[in-house]
Amino acid sequence: MTKIQAWGRLSNTEHQVIPLITASQTPKQLQHSTHPGITHGMGRSYGDAALNGNGILWLTTAMNHLVSFDLNTGILHCEAGSTLQDIHRTLIPQGWMLPVTPGTQMITVGGAIANDVHGKNHHAFGSFGDHVLYIKLLRTDGEIIECSKTERADWFYATLGGIGLTGIILEAKIQLRSVQGPWILSETIPYHNLDEFFALSDSSEADWEHTVSWIDCMNGANAKGLFARGNLANEHTQVEPKIKDKTFPITPPISLVNKLSLPIFNFAYFHGNSLKKQPQTVHYEPFFYPLDAMHEWNKMYGPKGFYQYQSVVPKEVGKEATQEMLNAIKKSGEGSFLAVLKTFGDRESGGLLSFPKPGVTLALDFPNRGEKTLKLLNELDRIVQEAQGRLYLAKDARMPRSLFETGYPRFNEFLKYRDPGISSEMSRRLLDI
């Protein structure tokens, strides 16, 4: 048995870890599994979607081969354990990039599909699943299901965003996009209240592919922040930066994100970035994945870990709901440094349990301080539910079932595609399976 943690480090339970070696060998390996399991990739889900305490984890990271790539069409065929980092570092020099990428590239293709991840360009390119052409799925009874948007489409849309519960994703085909190079032309604009944020967001979507903002959530309704926007650049002359990845050295005895440090962090971050000369041309890695340069950064929250909380609410009530959440955070005395506010485009994701939908999304992190933190999260739940919003399953560790059922009204439809040989801590918590 091996102790496994999610990225939020809220638990550290033992698992029977079974490495899946190749897509072709996996069916034979599953013949020996007598108890339900769940697939586990790079471990970047914050909560319990890929945990199965005292049970089986099928580790997919060895299934990381890029099977084939067509330089003319940009169609990639790969195993599910391939990471977004491997894809980009291999294929961007060839002039091809993933159309949608989240805030970390240290995730597997299988995880990206199972969570239907999104990025900074949802209004322009949708979610990850919009660019998946084919999924090869293994059921625990040995059945192979090959599905796409046109062939066995019901299985495709159940698996997309299906948090690993429909089977083991073995392989996928993805449509990449042509790029001129690894550079992003970006600019950062300070804003001083939510009205300014929404004005910037609305005015940027037509001309800017990537939009996102950091928000200082310590000041309630008077929140200020930094709005970043970017487009792919046609820059060929710059020298690519040397990658200088570092590792967070220790787990401190207490969270480094606390009442004393947060105001200092937020002040320094806002004013430091407000003074930067804009616009600028930056490499795609620091633009898309600023936290990836510090491995194991999740240790900074101390031994008790932290909660990630990401919601989306309809745009019609987006300003009011966001303001109410910020006021609740201020009143609680809790705080978040990694606070991200952005809007999703006017498009629905196809997955039965996909998170993105038209509206306003706010992502927050809170050090785990026990009941005090949970009380705040319960209050945020109330606001999200009243606004007819939903929480992101990839980041959740404690959502009540009532919020899940209202946020994901197609969950009953999803249940008929669930593999009875698969179970996770999340599925037992939210679906009783």
Instruction: Check whether residue 265 and residue 358 sit in a common domain.
Output: yes
Q: Which residues of 129-168 are buried (b: 16+ CB within 10 A; e: fewer)?
A: bbbbebbbbbbbeeeebebeeeebeebbbbbbbbbbbbbb
Instruction: Check whether residue 264 and residue 380 sit in a common domain.
Output: yes
pLDDT at 325: 96
pLDDT at 159: 98
CB burial class (10 A; 0-12, 13-18, 19+) of residue 301?
buried
The secondary structure of 290-348 as a DSSP string is GGGGEETGGGGG-TT-EEEEEEEE-GGGHHHHHHHHHHHHHHHT---SS-EEEEE-S--
pLDDT over 80 (residue 161): yes
pLDDT for 110-136, tens place per residue? 999 999 999 999 999 999 999 999 999
pLDDT over 80 (residue 220): no
pLDDT over 70 (residue 204): yes
Query: Residue 343 pairs with which residues in a beta bridge?
Result: 360
Q: What is the mean pLDDT of residues 372-394?
A: 98
- Whether residue 244 lies inside any domain: the answer is no
pLDDT over 90 (residue 76): yes
pLDDT at 277: 60
Domain span including residue 20: 2-61+422-430
- Whether residue 241 lies inside any domain: the answer is no
Q: What are phi and psi of 371, to 5 degrees?
A: -60, -35
Closest CA to 266 of 186, 339, 191, 343: 339
Mean pLDDT over all residues of the chain? 93
Distance CA 387, CA 343 (A): 15
pLDDT at 388: 97
Count the domains in the chain: 3
Q: Please, which pLDDT band fits residue 36 given cuts at 50, 70 and 90?
A: very high
Q: What percent of the chain has pLDDT over 90?
A: 81
- Whether residue 228 lies inside any domain: the answer is yes
- pTM metric for this prediction: 0.95
Sequence-distant contacts of 294-297: CB under 8 A, at least 24 apart: 294/245, 294/246, 294/247, 294/248, 295/245, 295/246, 295/247, 295/248, 296/247, 296/248, 297/248
Q: Please, which pLDDT band fits residue 340 given cuts at 50, 70 and 90?
A: very high
Instruction: Check whether residue 327 and residue 383 sit in a common domain.
Output: yes
- Whether residue 239 lies inside any domain: the answer is no
* Cα 405 from chain centroid (whole Å): 21
pLDDT over 80 (residue 60): yes
pLDDT for 260-277, tens place per residue? 788 888 888 887 787 766
pLDDT at 333: 86
